[in-house]
Structures are given as structure tokens and as C-alpha cells.
Amino acid sequence: MTDVIVVGGGPAGLSAAMFTQKNGLETTVFDTDGTWMHKAHLFNYLGLGSEDGTAFMATARRQVESYGVDLRQGEEVTDVSETDDGFAVETEDDSFESDYVVLATGANRELADSLGVAFDGDVVDVDITMETSVEDAYATGAMGRAEEWQAVISAGDGAAAALNILTKEKGEHYHDFDVPADADAAFGGMVDDE
């Protein structure tokens, strides 16, 4: 059993995973690398002047792995269901359990539908924290947005889901805010080899 399972490894999923793992929740990401980012070139992502989407994803994956996220590349989730203790996530070869699930599968809303979350038209109905009608299940990015499919919006949605999960776990509103003194501890292992 893990604390958080994230289905989808694009900007939303990796953002959620980074925040939860960084703050002490064991997190597993299942990713088939079907992200639209491979078709993108980022000129509109705050903090980046210009970066190829595939290069961005490689950097993002290294970042979440540096925090200890269990990143399961190429392992497709076939079903998500509620259990008495949280969620069961099925792949072709195995079954996993978690307290929370974050769905970050872009415009593919099949897993959300099979989980039984409420929809608003064609999109998953989420609140401002990205929580669905199923308690402790979150849907991020294009899952809950008809047309606002921007990497920076999706990353923010993932962060919102993660901070809500952390707030629930800690019993008070949680902020993930680092100061310069934290930088060496947080990023000391992230040395760019290029």
C-alpha cells in the first residue's frame, strides 16, 4: 500500500507526485508516456524561455525521481476502484492500493468514468482543489477542463490536488513554501550532467 497513486506522468501528474513525495507521502506514478508534451515547444511556461516538450518531460521525470517517487514508466493502469481503505489500481500484471488517487490522463477520462466520479458534460466535475465527487480521488488538467489544455495550468492543477491531500493528512491548511536556506537540502542532488 502506498499513500498516493498518480495515473499519468505529464505536467499535472508529475507536479502532484513531486509535492506529495517531497512532503512525506509515499507516491507512485504510472505513466505510459502518452503526454501531449512530446508535440509541444514551450514558450509560454513561466520561468522557461524556450524548451522542447520532450526535454521538459525528461527534466520533470528526473526531478520527481530525485525526491524518491516510484515512477513506473510504461506500466498502464487498466482500472481504478474504491476499496474500504482507499483505492485499488489495476495494471495488466498487478494490483496496487493507495489512500489517494490522482487521475492525470489528459482528455482520456475512461478511468474517471469507471471509478464513478461525477461529470459536468464531457469533463470530470472537480472542485477548486481538483477533488472529484469521490472522496480522496482527484482529476487534473484536461480531465476537468474542456479547452484549457496548457502545461502550466495542468501543473498547477496537480499542485492543487497535492496540497489538498497534504492538508487532509496534516489536519491543517498546508503550504509547500521553500526559502533559500532550504535550497541545498531540497536540490543538492539535482546536478545537471550536461
Cα 140 to Cα 35: distance, rounded to the nearest angstrom = 13
Neighbours of 141 (CB within 10 A): 32
**Global confidence as pTM:** 0.90
pLDDT (0 to 100) of residue 194: 44
Which letter, b or e, does each residue of 2-15 get, where b requires 16 or more Cβ atoms within 10 Å of its Cβ?
bbbbbbbbbbbbbb
Average pLDDT over residues 41-48: 85
* Segments making up each domain of the chain, as ranges: 2-187
Residue 190 has pLDDT above 70, yes or no: no
Return the HEC string of 80-142: EEEECCEEEEEECCCEEEEEEEEECCCCCCHHHHHHCCCEECCEECCCCCCECCCCCEEECHH
pLDDT (0 to 100) of residue 40: 85
Sign of CA dihedral 131, 133, 135, 137: negative
pLDDT band at 49 (very low <50, low <70, confident <90, very high): confident
Residues 125 and 137: beta-carbon distance below 8 Å: no
Average pLDDT over residues 96-117: 95
Cα 22 to Cα 153: distance, rounded to the nearest angstrom = 21
pLDDT > 70 fraction of the chain, expressed in percent and rounded = 95
pLDDT (0 to 100) of residue 151: 86
pLDDT (0 to 100) of residue 193: 46
Indicate the average pLDDT of the chain: 91
Cα 117 to Cα 132: distance, rounded to the nearest angstrom = 6
Which CATH number applies to 2-187? 3.50.50.60
Residue 183 has pLDDT above 80, yes or no: no
Tell me the three cell numbers of residue 20.
Answer: 506529495
